[in-house]
Amino acid sequence: MDRRLKPRHRSEPERTSRPGRSDPAHAADAEGERLQKVLSRAGLASRREAEDWIRAGRITINGQPAVLGVRVQVSDQLRLDGRLIRQRETSGGAVMAFICHRSPGESLTQPHSEPAAVDGDDSPPPSNTSLIERLPSRAGRRFITVSPMPRVDGGLELVTSDGELGVKLQRSVRHLVSQFSVRVLGELSPEQLGNILEGSLDSGERIQVTLCEPAGGEAANRWYTLIARGASGKEARQLFERQGALVSRVQRTHLGPITMERALGRGQFRELTSDELEALLAPPEPEESEGD
């Protein structure tokens, strides 16, 4: 026998084409992404919710019930309760993250009944549909708000329909510098401003505050500009209330490299560019030591 024609060893698995890949139980050994990740990126559910759907038998892959740990490819046909799921490409597609200008008191998810009055803002009032409902349907059906402002406050909000991206952004914002406009009743004393600069929270933790200064006002109300690293809207409000200040409004105007430009009226939104998203996710710069 010609030694160049060696028979294949029986233990070697045969490679056959599986155009339909109708057996999802073996899909974990194939290339592709985990089903939970695909559903999360499609804006349908969190990974935990997707796991519950799989256990309940609500998801099928090419007509067969899905199992936990299964991996799928773009060519696979996914259905939720019999309805076709459109997979989102992992590259070359839209960013699917948005910056929204939310009015104080407005809900991102519930329709607006009566527009909240905003001092010095003559932009059109919000629609009677929620901000989330006005986002493009191609972005998905489930949106995640990254470091959301308290409902009583407003300003810049960051939302995405990509669950994995939402987790990355949530981690990243804890290192980003944010700017807030805070309206209080009356003028703060130098001692109060100094205490705010210390960045002490009710929990005993401390955040880095780099600026807290007057920014004008009318009658008894005074605006202050606060710049802090990793501060949420709740924490920004807390810094002032810990000093006995009566805070009536907090608006976030900057979140890291993202600025809520004047052209973005309240109740409006725009999609983030790939450059903006890359800047948001950039690794934090090392902090300089006091001796530098």
Q: Cite the beta strand spans of 125-233 per DSSP E.
A: 144-146, 154-160, 177-185, 208-214, 221-229
Which string of DSSP letters, residue by residue, matches 233-264?
HHHHHHHHHTTT--EEEEEEEEETTEE--TTS
Residue 35 has pLDDT above 80, yes or no: yes
Tens digit of pLDDT for each residue in 269-279?
999 998 999 99
User: Does residue 206 share a domain with residue 122?
Assistant: yes
Between CA 216 and CA 290, with CA 190 as vertex, the angle to 5 degrees is: 105
- CATH number, domain with residue 81: 3.10.290.10
Whether residue 158 contacts residue 152, with contact meaning beta carbons closer than 8 Å, is answered with no
Among 85, 109, 138, the domain boundary falls at 85
Is residue 92 in some structural domain?
Answer: no
**What's the pTM value of the predicted model, to 2 decimals?**
0.66
Neighbours of 224 (CB within 10 A): 24
Average pLDDT over residues 270-291: 79
User: Does residue 49 share a domain with residue 191?
Assistant: no
Q: What Å distances lie between residue 39 and 43, 134, 163, CA to CA?
A: 7, 21, 9
Whether residue 96 contacts residue 161, with contact meaning beta carbons closer than 8 Å, is answered with yes
Residue 83 has pLDDT above 80, yes or no: yes
Give the residue numbers spanning the domain of 58. 24-85
265 residue type, one letter = G
* Strand pairing category for 154-160 and 247-255: parallel
Average pLDDT over all residues of the chain? 79
User: Does residue 185 share a domain with residue 63?
Assistant: no
Residue 229 has pLDDT above 90, yes or no: yes
Residue 144 has pLDDT above 70, yes or no: yes
Burial environment of residue 102 by CB neighbours within 10 A (0 to 12, 13 to 18, 19 or more): buried
User: Does residue 184 share a domain with residue 110?
Assistant: yes
Q: How far apart are CA 241 and CA 196, in angstroms?
A: 10
Into how many domains does the chain fold? 2
User: Does residue 178 share a domain with residue 64?
Assistant: no
Which residues does 169 contact at the CB level (< 8 Å), separation at least 6? 97, 146, 158, 160, 280, 281
* pLDDT score of 91: 44
Write the Ramachandran bin of 248: left for phi over 0, alpha for psi from -120 to 50, otherwise beta: alpha
User: Does residue 108 share a domain with residue 80?
Assistant: no
The two three-digit tokens of residue 288, written as one number: 């300089």
Q: How far apart are CA 200 and CA 242, in angstroms?
A: 9
